[in-house]
């Protein structure tokens, strides 16, 4: 049995980056709203 590993190449666009940044901001806001946890870990 032979196994072949191929590297996946991701094409990261500015739209992808904006979506990730938005999720980070929303997660940090949720931590601050609850008043529990550390915003740096969100």
What is the value of pTM for the model shown? 0.55
**Predicted pLDDT of residue 32:** 76
Q: Percentage helix, strand, coil, to 5, in the chain?
A: 55, 0, 45
The domain ranges of the chain are 12-42
**Predicted pLDDT of residue 35:** 73
Tens-digit pLDDT profile for residues 1-42: 556 666 678 899 999 999 999 999 888 887 777 777 666 554
**Predicted pLDDT of residue 2:** 59
HSE at residue 30, side-chain half, CA atoms within 13 A, is: 8
| Cα separation, 33 vs 17, whole angstroms | 24
Asked if residues 22 and 42 have their Cβ atoms less than 8 Å apart, the reply is: no
| Cα separation, 29 vs 42, whole angstroms | 9
């Amino acid at each position: 049995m032979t196994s072949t590993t191929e590297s996946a190449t991701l094409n990261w666009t500015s739209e992808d980056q904006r979506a990730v940044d938005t999720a980070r901001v929303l997660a940090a806001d949720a931590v601050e709203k609850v008043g529990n946890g550390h915003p740096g870990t969100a």
